[in-house]
Amino acid sequence: MMFTLAIVGRPNVGKSTLFNRLVGKRLALVDDQPGVTRDLREGQARLGDLRFIVIDSAGLEMADDESLQGRMRRLTERAVDEADICLFVLDGRVGVTAADEYFAELLRKRAKHIILAVNKAEGRAGEAGAMEAFSLGLGEPLRLSAEHGEGMDDLYRTLLPLADVLAAERPDTAPATDVDLPEDFEEDDTEAEDWRPSADRPLQIAVIGRPNAGKSTLINKIIGEDRLLTGPEAGITRDAISVGADFMGTPIRIFDTAGMRKKARVTDKVEKLSVADGLRAVRFAEVVVVLLDVAIPFEQQDLRIADYAESEGRAVVVAANKWDLEEDKPHKLNELREAFERLLPQLKGAPLVTVSAQTGKGLDRLHAAILKAHEVWNRRISTAKLNQWLSAMTEAHPPPAPGGRRIRLRYMTQVKTRPPAFVVMATHTDQIPESYGRYLVNGLRADFDMPGTPIRLIFRDQGTKNPYKDRRTVERPKGALHKHKTRGKPKE
């Protein structure tokens, strides 16, 4: 039975540290300063034989206006409403505050099941806070130390009967989260379709870009709900948040990432952690959507971000956001395409779509572009077709002969997908210029319909080695060689 546990409490009581402890990975950003977590982050938790979804939430603030703190609080209250169990965490070294008493009353009205926990309760420093927690009237508090892993057995014993109650109330319908991506794999010449997105293996998408490009707003529009924190302020998102959804019939898990500024401008420790978390999300993704602001597209930082996604070997889709604000759309579209081809030649042919995250216009084009990029990223070409193509390419434009040494491209095969990787067996590979490699890569893109996707081409030196040298010799029958040599000669 899968249930949902939301970790709530004031800022800096150790919610993200406890979240990381339950999922067994350092997924949530952790720092000494309060207010690091702003969005809701989900993860698959394991505690003994219990398997459940745990949600890390922003710290509850005494604010209910349209400020950032107010929007963060409403997002946390939404997690409280939707979760099966709320784990209300206090700081044992601080004790019960007036804010804790206020939020305890709020949880008593809205939460289905409440577990009270006192974190940082190791040693004598946390004893007073643990005793003081009884005054909230939420039952006996659990004494935990998320940093050192103490009290996890008590949490397990508290969750176990609640899990049994929830299992009796409804069947297990919770979706899988944080599905591990397969590494690059080899395939035979038969067409394999197991890479196509399914409920068990959703398509992994990461949305990256500069701050305030509209990444969180776009994801909220894709999933059809205000799941991620948004607003006019730049840099709201800090964690790389993943959300499962159905995007026009395609099962997906989409990652929202923090805005990436120029490295020289990033001085704050939390922002450095946020950018590192976003780069990590790219490595988990299959398709990366590089989101641009149509008013200031293809700035230097946009080019660096797109180049990073390509260098990581991910399928790339470029989306220009805020298209609804553009007045001269045909002229602007021509400008975007010209700049794209000129500034990002390594992504030649990659999809470029225009969207409006605010109104939802262009989401159908974005969906089609993502599926196309994913299909090309998984494309497999048979060895026979590749060698026919290689023969035609070398005949049309033979490789150079530096120093009079002729380079021979003997044969070619595809060794990997995701992204496509090819090996060409050749002679004198150290003499093959980069321009000839680009000639072959551009030919692969054009002739096998692989626009935009990263293509890896490796030249492997075969030299002049005799391929039959290591073969086992077959013994001839005795006298066979003698008969062959004396055939036609007169007998003495």
How confident is the model over 32-75, as pLDDT tens digits? 455 455 457 778 888 988 888 888 887 776 666 566 566 667 77
* Residue indicated by tokens 């990366």: 288
What separation in angstroms does the CA of 71 have from each of 5, 74, 75, 127, 229? 21, 5, 6, 34, 7
Among 14-28, 130-144, 228-242, 382-396, which is the least confidently predicted range? 228-242
Q: Which residues pair with 64 in a beta bridge?
A: none
In Å, how far are 211, 305, 318 from 293, measured between CA atoms? Answer: 10, 13, 11
CATH for the stretch 3-29+37-169 = 3.40.50.300
Residues 50, 4 contacting (CB under 8 angstroms)? no
Considering only residues 132 and 129, tell me which one the structure prediction assigns the higher pLDDT.
Answer: 132
**Averaged pLDDT of the chain:** 79
- 186, pLDDT greater than 70: no
Instruction: Give the Cα separation of 253 and 332 in Å (integer).
Output: 32
Examine residue 297 and say whether the peptide bond preceding it is cis (omega within 30 degrees of 0): no
Lowest mean pLDDT among 54-68, 81-95, 115-129, 473-487: 473-487
Q: What is the pLDDT of residue 478?
A: 53
Instruction: Enumerate the known binding-site residues for GTP.
Output: 9-16, 56-60, 119-122, 209-216, 256-260, 321-324
pTM: 0.62
CATH class of this structure's domain 203-378: alpha beta
3-29+37-169 and 203-378, same CATH topology: yes
Asked whether residue 447 carries a pLDDT value surpassing 90, the answer given is: yes
- Summarised one tens digit per residue, pLDDT across range 94-120 is 888 888 888 888 888 888 899 999 988
For 383-461, give the CATH class: alpha beta
Contact 281, 206 (CB under 8 A): yes
Check if the beta carbon of residue 13 is closer than 8 Å to that of residue 90: yes
Delimit the domains of the chain by residue range: 3-29+37-169, 203-378, 383-461
> What local confidence, expressed as pLDDT, does residue 413 receive?
92
Residue among 204, 197, 243 at smallest CA distance from 222:
243
Select the more confidently predicted residue: 344 or 130.
344
- Which among 389, 393, 429 is positioned nearest to 408, based on CA atoms? 429
pLDDT at 155: 93
Q: In this structure, are residues 29 and 240 in contact, taking their beta carbons and an 8 Å threshold?
A: no
**Residues at the annotated binding site?**
9-16, 56-60, 119-122, 209-216, 256-260, 321-324
pLDDT value at 326 more than 80: yes
Helix (H) or strand (E) holding 208: strand 203-209
